[in-house]
């Protein structure tokens, strides 16, 4: 999708469709109070073109509500689309992001290939954050998952124009717009990986895709397999992959900004299970096809690293993605087995793990990934994984789960998600949860029973970060969009890319 930024008057923009935002100014909470929609633009020609529609009561400016006008009088645009933001006092830049995605998804099935999207002219909605959000939303809206349809009709938007208020700060908006393009493309890169079927994206192929991306954006990279896992004594990681005919892949990416030789080193660790059958503790067949998305945490780290390489924050970053298939076979690990995780140092033995359930495999690969990131020099850690169904039970498909052992790291992440617009809810850690994963035969076991499953999984990972400042993101509930929304297609969401990027930037100097 080609993009451009314009400061021309809205009524003079020649385009197939011009999208303008509207909001409901009604503050009366009485049940019979009628919406009072207003356009968020001062352009007199736009106001005149939409006056009859706004007066009719047909369009209420609800969140992501749309209304289309053909051949609007006084406008160079062929069509005028009104997109609602909902109640005006509550509207934020994140609502603008959704509205831009809604506008893009509105035109795609209608054969319209170009769109101009007008930023809101409102003191409540600052142009800079709105410009970034709108461009990100446009890229999110343009993605469709139908990659392998034999007669696929490409409905991609060819040109997206962001129309800024005439008197806006041109330099600031150009910078915000350029950032947003990188972030939107990086989120879609993650989505394209998560969308791939397990037979089209094995661990080896995921490693190849990561290497190609890293080479394109200037990241250092290494991709290893079975021999490296054995050399590093990654017994937890290897135990997951041993049941599959497909070899594992250990992907390591390095970002080293010029002139940065001290300060923190951030470690990004992602679960990359390219297909999860559950292993010997096999999953039910219903919805097992979605288990191709069990590498969404690893894909999020790859998307974040792509954005980091292009936006160039002044902080060193390492990414470790542990990719494997979890399959049942004669060589697969069994419930009751005991595995030894990677030791942090030669004089310190690796933790022994009793396998209670082979479907609790994500924490096993992350255990070795977190240890390796620390061994490579990471002083602060963040991991992302579609880790537990328990997190989805607790938070539904509204918030992803987050855990942290460090208040400063969490404060930075909390600020990061306020910028990204993604929703994470912090859940507790504690000794009571740690007790639930103690093993009678080894050091720890890989599940703590039915109750508090997201918390016991996080406590399992905490064993391997020790005192290193750390954040764990359980994205199982948000990595896959179950039903299409006005602003995003059903399928992979690319969640966590924006928040991880912003967290990294909080450490830049």
Active site (catalytic) residues: 283, 363
Cβ 61 vs Cβ 23: under 8 Å = yes
CA quadruple 166, 168, 171, 177: dihedral sign: negative
H or E element in which residue 195 lies = helix 170-195
The gap between the terminal CA atoms of the chain, to the nearest Å, is 33
**Distance between CA atoms of residues 453 and 477, nearest Å:** 14
Cβ 278 vs Cβ 359: under 8 Å = yes
Whole-number Cα distances in Å, 225 to 3, 156, 190, 296, 301:
40, 37, 22, 20, 19
Q: Which of 70, 105, 101, 71 is nearest to 85 (CA)?
A: 101
Per-residue DSSP letter, 122: B
**Distance between CA atoms of residues 70 and 82, nearest Å:** 12
**Distance between CA atoms of residues 58 and 310, nearest Å:** 45
Whole-number Cα distances in Å, 198 to 246, 280, 477:
11, 18, 20
């Amino acid at each position: 999708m080609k993009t451009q930024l314009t400061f021309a008057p809205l009524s003079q923009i020649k385009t197939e469709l011009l999208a303008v935002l509207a909001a409901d100014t009604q503050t009366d909470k009485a049940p019979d109070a009628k919406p009072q929609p207003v356009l968020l633009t001062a352009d007199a020609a736009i106001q005149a073109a939409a006056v009859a529609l706004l007066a009719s009561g047909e369009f209420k400016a609800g969140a992501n509500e749309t209304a289309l006008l053909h051949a609007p009088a006084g406008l160079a645009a062929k069509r005028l689309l009104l997109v609602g933001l909902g109640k005006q006092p509550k509207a934020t830049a994140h609502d603008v992001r959704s509205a831009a995605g809604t506008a893009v998804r509105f035109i795609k099935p209608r054969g319209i290939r170009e769109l101009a999207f007008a930023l809101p002219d409102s003191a409540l909605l600052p142009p800079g954050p709105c410009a970034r959000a709108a461009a990100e939303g446009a890229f999110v809206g343009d993605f469709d998952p139908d990659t392998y349809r034999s007669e696929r009709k490409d409905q991609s938007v060819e040109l997206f124009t962001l129309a800024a208020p005439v008197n806006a700060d041109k330099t600031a908006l150009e910078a915000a717009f350029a950032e947003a393009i990188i972030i939107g493309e990086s989120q879609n890169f993650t989505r394209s990986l998560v969308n791939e079927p397990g037979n089209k994206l094995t661990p080896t192929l995921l490693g190849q895709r990561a290497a190609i991306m890293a080479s394109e954006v200037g990241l250092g990279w290494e991709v290893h397999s079975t021999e490296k896992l054995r050399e590093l004594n990654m017994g937890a990681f290897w135990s997951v992959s041993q049941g599959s005919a497909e070899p594992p892949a250990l992907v390591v990416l390095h970002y080293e900004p010029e002139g940065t030789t001290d300060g923190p080193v951030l470690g990004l660790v992602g679960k990359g299970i390219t297909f999860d059958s559950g292993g010997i503790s096999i999953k039910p067949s219903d919805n097992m096809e979605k288990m191709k998305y069990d590498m969404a945490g690893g894909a999020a780290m790859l998307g974040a690293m792509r954005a980091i390489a292009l936006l160039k924050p002044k902080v060193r970053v390492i990414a470790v993605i542990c990719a494997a298939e979890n399959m049942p076979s004669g060589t697969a690990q069994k419930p009751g087995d005991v595995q030894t995780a990677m030791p942090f140092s030669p004089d310190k033995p690796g933790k022994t793990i009793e396998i209670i359930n082979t479907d609790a495999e994500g924490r096993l690969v992350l255990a070795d990934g977190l240890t390796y990131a620390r061994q490579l020099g990471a002083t602060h850690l963040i991991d992302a994984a579609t880790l537990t169904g328990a997190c989805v039970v607790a938070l539904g498909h509204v918030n992803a789960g987050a855990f942290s052992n460090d208040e400063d790291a969490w404060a930075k992440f909390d600020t990061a998600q306020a910028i990204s617009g993604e929703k994470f809810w912090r859940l507790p850690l504690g000794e009571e949860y740690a007790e639930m994963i103690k093993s009678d035969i080894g050091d720890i076991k890989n599940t703590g029973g039915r109750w508090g499953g997201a918390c016991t999984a996080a406590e399992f990972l905490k064993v391997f970060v020790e005192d290193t400042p750390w954040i764990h993101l359980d994205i199982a509930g948000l990595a896959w969009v179950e039903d299409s929304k006005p602003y995003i297609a059903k399928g992979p969401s690319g969640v966590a890319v924006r928040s991880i990027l912003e967290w990294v930037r909080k450490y830049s100097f």
